[in-house]
Chains A and B, each alone.
Chain A
Amino acid sequence: MKRFIGFVKKEFYHIFRDKRSMFILFGMPIAQILLFGFAITNEINNVELGILDKSKDHETLKIINKINASEYFTIENVVENENEIEAVFKKGEVKAFLVFEEGFAENLHALHKGKIQVITDATEPNTANTIVNYVQSIIQHYQQELNSTSDMGVQIDIQTRMFFNTELKSVFNFLPGVMTVILMLVSAMMTSISITREKELGTMEILLVSPLKPVQVVVGKVFPYIFLSIINALVILILGVTVFGMPIEGSLILLAFETVLFIITALSLGILISTIAETQQAAMMISLMGLMLPVILLSEFIFPISSMPDLLQYISHFIPAKWFIIILKGIMLKGVGLIYLWKETVILIVMAVFLIALSIKKYKIRLE
């Protein structure tokens, strides 16, 4: 045990004295999560809107104020005539226009029906999509308010002048993917690099000639990264919750357990890589090409697996990240427990055990 503590201590010296390691461990995850997160959220933050209000009554004014008050939109331009809209779009001053029909409030009270048109700038289809969705939700909210204070049963029709698909990826769907990729990267890449570094420097030979058992060497090298990866996962979660308002609906304990399970799977992949790679550079390349690409492409992080060719769908079953993303989304967004996630959990456990066994076996072979 004393030997083990000494070993772990030395490992921490390595990590804390190497600026590159520190950056990959802590700088990169924070940068990535903010980058990925804001790349999505920017689209719905203070988007410039134009208004064409043909009615100018108390209802349209209320709606306009409501939209202006939301953090998603700022009203940048008000035009008086339909002909001006195109010119404003061309200048790129606004991303979308809201057009209120003539006599909006009258129609609302007399016919219980009002019409609003959303015209979006289709050159950025994703942004356009998001805008329509957010405008819709604000107006629907307003409609509910109206209906709750009176029995009018009004309906505000929103017409959009743009073709759009309804399947919209939000930041909530995105963050679990980012978290998975970062954990995979940090855990697998850092361990494989730190083990191959000892090989490259020749110190691995010294350790193998010492009374330390190979398993002790590997565990001693990997242990600090379990610890640091857990801290990393915490940082990512805290950022997700505080900066992006990500919910954690389910059990925190289950979330912690699944995260540690995934970290261990990733670490054993790192050990496996280090048994193949002779140099730090090779370890880094194998980690990036062999782990990062499949994780990003085949984990449902960005691209829907269901629309992929059969072969890729089949391969995706072997990507631990895919299962972890399902688990994360389940716990954080849907708030489900182990009853719904046991299958994914068992798959991850089997993968972890298999990878650990394989890497220990490969490690022994290398020593003959």
Chain B
Amino acid sequence: MKPEETVIEVENLTKKFGDFTAVNEISFKTYKGEIFGFLGANGAGKTTAMKMLIGISKPTSGEASVTGLDVFSQPDQIKKNIGYMSQKFSMYDDLTIKENITFFGGIYGLDRKTIKNKIKQIIESLGLEEVANKLVGALPLGWKQKLAFSVALLHDPKIVFLDEPTGGVDPITRRQFWELIYKQASQGTTIFVTTHYMDEAEYCDRVSIMVEGKIEALDTPKNLKTEYKVDSMDGVFLKLARNIE
């Protein structure tokens, strides 16, 4: 990965809820076309950190910019330039595939012609021709997730945030999902992904591991494994967690 164009730049970013410091002075950068894994146990602060980056939570202190826009002063601009897919499957079950795409295209301000092209493109690339007019609720979870990913990319954002996108899916579907992620990254989209699955961490270009509000490790999976002298990311994670305790 050539570190060229910076997409996210974070310096000493902190978020406090009263006395509790959820995110404690974290700093990192992500680059164009990079798959950046954002790891951490539940409660480690990764969701809070991500919420600050996607403009729905105001940081307490520090600095951060996403696609060159400041998270303090330009959260509304940031929202237009990012894609987001949450851990809960996030499309409308009672709308058809076409209606869902039309709706989300509409709220991102795409014009009718663009939406039409996008519908065609998504349905073709995911092979959904036969179910295009079916309600999304009737689709298997794996298809829904691929669809949600495509919808998150509707407005061609420079970066897409995936919040535990593969929760509750079987390994085969997960692998297919990761193929989509790779394809998108190779086209220059930055992928910012949080995950519980350590095998998925191996697929990332670089990973950061958060423990109790701080980033304790940040490197490529290969370097991390060498540094901690283990043969899997699982090992790295366990060692880190124990050191803290």
Query: Is the pair B99, A201 in contact by a Cβ cutoff of 8 Å?
Result: no
Query: Is the pair B107, A368 in contact by a Cβ cutoff of 8 Å?
Result: no
Q: How far is the CA of A209 from the CA of B103 in the complex (A)?
A: 15
With beta carbons under 8 angstroms apart, the residue of B80, B85, B89, B99 that contacts A10 is B99
Given the contacts A210-B107, A211-B107, A205 and B86 also touching, CB distance less than 8 Å: yes
Q: Give 9 CB contacts A-B under 8 Å.
A: A2-B109, A3-B106, A3-B109, A7-B103, A10-B95, A13-B95, A205-B88, A206-B85, A208-B56
Q: How far is the CA of A203 from the CA of B104 in the complex (A)?
A: 11
Known: A201-B88, A206-B86. 16 other contacts (CB 8 A): A3-B106, A6-B102, A6-B103, A7-B103, A10-B95, A202-B88, A202-B90, A205-B90, A207-B107, A208-B56, A209-B55, A209-B56, A210-B79, A211-B107, A367-B57, A368-B58
With beta carbons under 8 angstroms apart, the residue of B54, B91, B99 that contacts A13 is B99
Interface string of B112-142 (1 = CB under 8 A from A): 0000000000000000000000010000000
Query: Is the pair B109, A203 in contact by a Cβ cutoff of 8 Å?
Result: no
Query: Is the pair B56, A367 in contact by a Cβ cutoff of 8 Å?
Result: yes
Q: Which residues of B contact A207 (CB under 8 A)?
A: 107
Query: Is the pair B99, A6 in contact by a Cβ cutoff of 8 Å?
Result: no
Interface string of A1-28 (1 = CB under 8 A from B): 0110011011001100110000000000
Q: Which residues of B contact A205 (CB under 8 A)?
A: 56, 84, 86, 88, 90
Q: How far is the CA of A203 from the CA of B93 in the complex (A)?
A: 10
Query: Is the pair A210, B58 in contact by a Cβ cutoff of 8 Å?
Result: no
Instruction: Select from chain B the residue with minimum beta-carbon distance to A7.
Output: B107
Query: Is the pair B54, A10 in contact by a Cβ cutoff of 8 Å?
Result: no
User: Shortest beta-carbon distance, B148 to chain A, in Å?
Assistant: 9
B76 within 8 A of A: yes
A234 within 8 A of B: no
Query: Is the pair A14, B94 in contact by a Cβ cutoff of 8 Å?
Result: yes
Query: Is the pair B90, A203 in contact by a Cβ cutoff of 8 Å?
Result: yes
A252 within 8 A of B: no
Instruction: Select from chain A the residue with minimum beta-carbon distance to B152.
Output: A206
Query: Is the pair B92, A10 in contact by a Cβ cutoff of 8 Å?
Result: yes
A338 within 8 A of B: no
Query: Is the pair A203, B92 in contact by a Cβ cutoff of 8 Å?
Result: yes
Q: How far is the CA of A203 from the CA of B84 in the complex (A)?
A: 11
How many residues of chain B have a CB within 8 Å of chain A?
A: 30
B228 within 8 A of A: no
In order of increasing CB-CB distance, the 3 nearest A-B pairs are A202-B88, A6-B106, A209-B84
Query: Is the pair B57, A202 in contact by a Cβ cutoff of 8 Å?
Result: no
Q: At the interface, is chain A mostly helix, strand, loop or mixed?
A: helix
Q: Which residues of A contact B85 (CB under 8 A)?
A: 206
B209 within 8 A of A: no
Query: Is the pair B82, A202 in contact by a Cβ cutoff of 8 Å?
Result: no
User: Shortest beta-carbon distance, B16 to chain A, in Å?
Assistant: 12
Give residues 335-368 of A contacting B (CB, 8 Å).
Answer: 367-368
B108 within 8 A of A: yes
Q: How far is the CA of A314 from the CA of B135 in the complex (A)?
A: 51
Q: Which of B76, B86, B92, B135 has the most CB of A within 10 A?
A: B92
Query: Is the pair B84, A7 in contact by a Cβ cutoff of 8 Å?
Result: no
Given the contacts A10-B95, A14-B94, A209 and B54 also touching, CB distance less than 8 Å: yes
User: Shortest beta-carbon distance, A254 to chain B, in Å?
Assistant: 38
With beta carbons under 8 angstroms apart, the residue of B57, B80, B87 that contacts A368 is B57
A215 within 8 A of B: no
Q: Which residues of B contact A213 (CB under 8 A)?
A: 76
Q: How far is the CA of A368 from the CA of B85 in the complex (A)?
A: 20
Q: Which residues of A contact B92 (CB under 8 A)?
A: 10, 13-14, 201, 203
Q: How far is the CA of A217 from the CA of B102 in the complex (A)?
A: 17
User: Shortest beta-carbon distance, A90 to chain B, in Å?
Assistant: 59
Query: Is the pair B84, A206 in contact by a Cβ cutoff of 8 Å?
Result: yes
Query: Is the pair B88, A211 in contact by a Cβ cutoff of 8 Å?
Result: no
With beta carbons under 8 angstroms apart, the residue of A7, A13, A210 that contacts B108 is A210
Give residues 293-348 of A contacting B (CB, 8 Å).
Answer: none
A212 within 8 A of B: yes
Query: Is the pair A7, B56 in contact by a Cβ cutoff of 8 Å?
Result: no
